[in-house]
A and B are shown apart, each in its own frame.
Chain A
Amino acid sequence: MASDASSTVVLRQTFRRATRTGLGWGVVFALIVVDSAVGYQMSYPTAQSRAYLVASLEHNVGIAALLGQGRDLGSIAGWIPFHSMASLLPLGAIVGLLTASRLTRAEEDAGRWEYFLSGRTTRLGAAVQAALGLAGGIAVMWIPVAVTAAIVGSYYDAYSTTAALFYAAALVGAPAVFGAVSFLAAQVASSRHQANMIGAAMLGIAYLLRMVSSTAPGLSWLRWVSPLGWIDAMHPVTGTSWPPGLLVAAAALAITSAGIVIASKRDLGAGALPDRETAHSRRFGFGGHAGLDVVLSRSTAIAWIVALAVVSGVFGWISKAGGEAITGSTSAQDMIRRMGVIRAGAAAYLGVTLLMVGATLALGAAAQLGAVRAEEAEGRLDHLLARPVSPRRWLAAKVGVGTAMLVVEAVVAGAAGWVGVSTQGTGLQLGELLQAGVSIVPPALLVLGVGVMIYAVLPRYAAAAGYAIIAWSFLIELVGAVTDLNHWIKDTSLLVHIAPAPAASPDWLSASVMVGIGLVAFAAGLLLFPKRDLAGS
């Protein structure tokens, strides 16, 4: 009997962890579905306000690029998928990418698959089992979303149970198809880091294609090249179109199958792509630990900078159209005024999009904390701190390089936004956009500072603490949109304190307070770090 168990060990391991992740995110997705419904009822209670909403958002290229194409926004049935999918498609895709690479390539990198494959499991069998385990995670993710969507649909008498189940399937379509992409990348790449880079590039391209297809009428066919476009085309709730849904399922299956075939043919621990075994030694970056930080962060930083430049440039390019729609709609103006937007037009549109970039930078800061922790947990830090390097100097350099990355990324986002918007003759100046870029860095610095303090005491929880701060901020935003939250509670959200520049003057006071909190937490971290044991490998 033990032998039967050993032959399915990969399936059980992957399934257990994938379902845990799937269930957690499924609940988050379900909450956002509820938030979309409740928020619509509260914000647009009258036929007139709904008509304004339709006029301002439907057929607006700027909004479509940012949030996807809205349909039937005058009813709750049209609003719920439009509003929820705007955030859940990219979020779900990221969850799918990271989960699949974590449960496959990271396990292989850590050497655990060697134990599994030394038993009764073959390479092919292990890959099939891992794919089934990941599929189980997607199925479990679907359950809370489907149940919640059905209850919401029934409660508001908005759509049928069948439509709800289809809508839930569309929502988990992004994690399914990008999980498959990541699964394939994990077979092609020679490390999890490389697999994540490939997956992120694929997602970036898919997102960009969807944006362009929504903004340029002559290029609307491009949506059929992007999986995100296919999911849009499923028209959940408003149209229930099965063929694009089948395309999503078929793509996930085909990509996963390709991954399985490659996995069965390649060596364990190696990638299918040829990897250079030797390389010319680089001259720069090996003078000390700070130089090493630059070398190690370089590829990630370049990827972030390119992605932010492209996305911000496109947002700048479509900002005039997006801004005009906002200007012409009272309800849209009400909506963004709650976010602190004062100026209208392209400035308003860019202000809102840069807020999203700010939130993304904060996520990047949390990811940096994970990388700091990994350096210690995997034993590499031992080699540095067993030499004449003070722990505080090491940590300060690490945070310094991370901070510089965040600032450069934000400035590039602002500058690229200006490049895009300058083609539209809006009058927005480079200085304004650069200032706007700098103004979105403080939340990320606060996350980094607080994370460093947690790292100094409880290193395992540093990255989780960073992500928790961001998740909390989003939760407060969601709940705050539908209920009257106490302002003390509202103030705990980082997003509340970012002014949507250039649509409003940057709130330098709030920015200074956030940077100050980050600095104090960082100083506490520096003080405490040398007082604990180094974890080591």
Chain B
Amino acid sequence: MAAPVKTEKLTKVFGKTEALVDLDLEMNQGEVLGYLGPNGAGKTTTIRLLLGILRATSGLARIFGVDAQAEPAKAHERIAYVPGEASLWPGLTGEETLRLLGNIQGNVDVAYREVLIERFNFDPSRKVRTYSRGNRQKLILIAGMMSRADLLLLDEPTAGLDPLMAQAFRVCVDEARGRGQTVFFSSHALSEVEALCDRVAILRGGRLIELGNLHEMRHLSALTIDADLDRIPDQLATLVGVRGLVASDHHVHFHAEGPVEPVLRLLAQAGTEHLLVREPTLEELFLAHYGQAVEEGQNGQ
């Protein structure tokens, strides 16, 4: 069975700007992939290339085996797309918009649409121009989700939603996963990605710099250690793998990469009273990648 999303060396260049470079990515059926990166990293460009509404400079993008660049309309038969900014027809009502987009999509689970309308506490009788930004976002979320498409392409879908509605959105994604739908989820809400996604991809400057599941990524990343000690050992600062050491009084805070045993042995010798070892959050992993980029940038300067 063809992969829901498969890209090979997918590249997009705007003038002199490399928006996306040699993206190789393959998604598995039924997985939820978090797609991360700061503004301008290439997230939306990737999604628009997958939709075929941007033309690739080079490389391939396939949706369930269909070339999304050559046959976008065919590829779209199995896609639902939710953009982060909802620009809609102001004179239509919410209901008219849902009916229009549903008819164009072709597959609408009417019962599920009603569930979504209720879940998002959405009033479809109003005209689009009277909706707040959050309500417009709800409208396009419902329009995307109601089709039960095999692949959901979500581009910062919770922008503008309040925390309750963001929670309702998580329920929808969980349901989609439960039904075997595949979800490509671009977001800045790292806690949301952490809670929902099976795998995470991180983009930087149009290049994919990290792809894996959170467990693997954490395993390969530094642990955060806080300890209260009788005395602070001099060797700790020079121990291989230790970085970011902050010592005050009898307390130390640092990150440890690689084998943890030498660190623990040294701490034990120093009379440890309290010890807290924590895997990095997604936010810390993300910031670690971008911190590196900032450092490299500063060194370059």
B272 an interface residue at 8 Å Cβ cutoff?
Answer: no
Q: Which of B79-119 contact A (CB under 8 A)?
A: 79, 81, 83, 85, 87-93, 95-96, 99-101, 103-106
One of A190, A286, A292 near B129 (C-beta < 8 A): A190
Measured between alpha carbons, how far is A531 from B104 in the docked complex, in Å?
22
Query: Which of A278, A296, A387, A390 lies at the interface centre, i.e. has the most chain B CB atoms within 10 A of its CB?
Result: A387
Give the residue name and chain of the B residue nearest to A377 (CB).
B87
Q: Would you give the shortest CB distance from B130 to chain A, in whole angstroms?
A: 5
The residues of A that contact B76 with a CB separation of less than 8 Å are 386-389
Indicate if the CB atoms of B93 and A287 lie closer than 8 Å: no
B126 an interface residue at 8 Å Cβ cutoff?
Answer: yes
Give the residue name and chain of the A residue nearest to B45 (CB).
A533
Indicate if the CB atoms of B48 and A278 lie closer than 8 Å: no
A534 an interface residue at 8 Å Cβ cutoff?
Answer: yes
The residues of A that contact B88 with a CB separation of less than 8 Å are 380, 383
One of B77, B83, B100, B123 near A388 (C-beta < 8 A): B77
A4 an interface residue at 8 Å Cβ cutoff?
Answer: no
Indicate if the CB atoms of A387 and B101 lie closer than 8 Å: yes
Measured between alpha carbons, how far is A390 from B73 in the docked complex, in Å?
5
Q: Would you give the shortest CB distance from B185 to chain A, in whole angstroms?
A: 16
A112 an interface residue at 8 Å Cβ cutoff?
Answer: no
Q: Would you give the shortest CB distance from A203 to chain B, in whole angstroms?
A: 23
Q: Would you give the shortest CB distance from B87 to chain A, in whole angstroms?
A: 4
Measured between alpha carbons, how far is A220 from B51 in the docked complex, in Å?
63
The residues of B that contact A384 with a CB separation of less than 8 Å are 104
Give the residue name and chain of the A residue nearest to B14 (CB).
A533
User: At the interface, is chain A mostly helix, strand, loop or mixed?
Assistant: loop
B293 an interface residue at 8 Å Cβ cutoff?
Answer: no
Indicate if the CB atoms of A383 and B101 lie closer than 8 Å: yes
One of B74, B96, B106 near A281 (C-beta < 8 A): B96
The residues of B that contact A391 with a CB separation of less than 8 Å are 72
Indicate if the CB atoms of A278 and B53 lie closer than 8 Å: no
Measured between alpha carbons, how far is A441 from B209 in the docked complex, in Å?
58
Measured between alpha carbons, how far is A383 from B124 in the docked complex, in Å?
18
Given contacts A190-B129, A281-B99, A534-B48, is CB(A296)–CB(B55) below 8 Å?
Answer: no
One of B55, B79, B83 near A382 (C-beta < 8 A): B83
Give the residue name and chain of the A residue nearest to B50 (CB).
A386
Give the residue name and chain of the A residue nearest to B131 (CB).
A277
Q: Would you give the shortest CB distance from B213 to chain A, in whole angstroms?
A: 28
The residues of A that contact B53 with a CB separation of less than 8 Å are 382, 385-386, 533-534, 536
B270 an interface residue at 8 Å Cβ cutoff?
Answer: no
Q: Would you give the shortest CB distance from A31 to chain B, in whole angstroms?
A: 38
Q: Which of A171-213 contact B (CB under 8 A)?
A: 190-191
The residues of A that contact B125 with a CB separation of less than 8 Å are 278-279, 281
Q: How many A-B residue pairs have CB under 8 A?
A: 96
Q: Would you give the shortest CB distance from B235 to chain A, in whole angstroms?
A: 56
Q: Would you give the shortest CB distance from A385 to chain B, in whole angstroms?
A: 5
B54 an interface residue at 8 Å Cβ cutoff?
Answer: yes
Q: Which of A510-537 contact B (CB under 8 A)?
A: 530-534, 536-537
B140 an interface residue at 8 Å Cβ cutoff?
Answer: yes
The residues of B that contact A378 with a CB separation of less than 8 Å are 87
The residues of A that contact B127 with a CB separation of less than 8 Å are 276-279
Indicate if the CB atoms of A278 and B103 lie closer than 8 Å: no
Indicate if the CB atoms of B73 and A191 lie closer than 8 Å: no
The residues of B that contact A278 with a CB separation of less than 8 Å are 93, 123, 125-127
A343 an interface residue at 8 Å Cβ cutoff?
Answer: no
Given contacts A378-B87, A533-B53, A536-B53, is CB(A389)–CB(B96) below 8 Å?
Answer: no
The residues of B that contact A389 with a CB separation of less than 8 Å are 73, 76, 104
Chain B 271-296 near chain A by CB (<8 Å), digits 1 or 0: 00000000000000000000000000
| A residues contacting the other copy or chain, number (CB 8 A) | 37
Give the residue name and chain of the A residue nearest to B87 (CB).
A379
Indicate if the CB atoms of B87 and A286 lie closer than 8 Å: no
Indicate if the CB atoms of A388 and B106 lie closer than 8 Å: yes
Indicate if the CB atoms of A386 and B130 lie closer than 8 Å: no
Given contacts A383-B140, A534-B54, is CB(A296)–CB(B89) below 8 Å?
Answer: yes
The residues of A that contact B83 with a CB separation of less than 8 Å are 379, 382-383, 386
Given contacts A388-B76, A536-B53, is CB(A277)–CB(B104) below 8 Å?
Answer: no
A282 an interface residue at 8 Å Cβ cutoff?
Answer: yes
Q: Would you give the shortest CB distance from B107 to chain A, in whole angstroms?
A: 10
A289 an interface residue at 8 Å Cβ cutoff?
Answer: yes
Query: Which of A279, A282, A383, A532 lies at the interface centre, i.e. has the most chain B CB atoms within 10 A of its CB?
Result: A383
The residues of A that contact B140 with a CB separation of less than 8 Å are 383
Chain B 39-69 near chain A by CB (<8 Å), digits 1 or 0: 0000000001001011100000000000000
Indicate if the CB atoms of B95 and A191 lie closer than 8 Å: no
Measured between alpha carbons, how far is A191 from B130 in the docked complex, in Å?
12
Indicate if the CB atoms of A288 and B89 lie closer than 8 Å: no
Indicate if the CB atoms of B87 and A386 lie closer than 8 Å: no
One of B48, B55, B96 near A282 (C-beta < 8 A): B96
The residues of B that contact A536 with a CB separation of less than 8 Å are 48, 53
The residues of A that contact B73 with a CB separation of less than 8 Å are 388-390
Measured between alpha carbons, how far is A191 from B105 in the docked complex, in Å?
29
Give the residue name and chain of the A residue nearest to B83 (CB).
A382
Q: Would you give the shortest CB distance from B207 to chain A, in whole angstroms?
A: 21
Give the residue name and chain of the A residue nearest to B56 (CB).
A533
Give the residue name and chain of the A residue nearest to B100 (CB).
A286
Given contacts A379-B83, A388-B74, A388-B76, is CB(A289)–CB(B54) below 8 Å?
Answer: no
List, sorted by A's number, 9 A–B pairs whose CB atoms are closer than 8 Å: A278-B123, A281-B99, A379-B87, A383-B88, A383-B101, A386-B76, A387-B104, A532-B55, A537-B85
Query: Nearest 9 pairs between A and B by C-beta?
Result: A379-B87, A386-B81, A534-B53, A281-B95, A286-B100, A390-B73, A388-B76, A286-B99, A277-B130
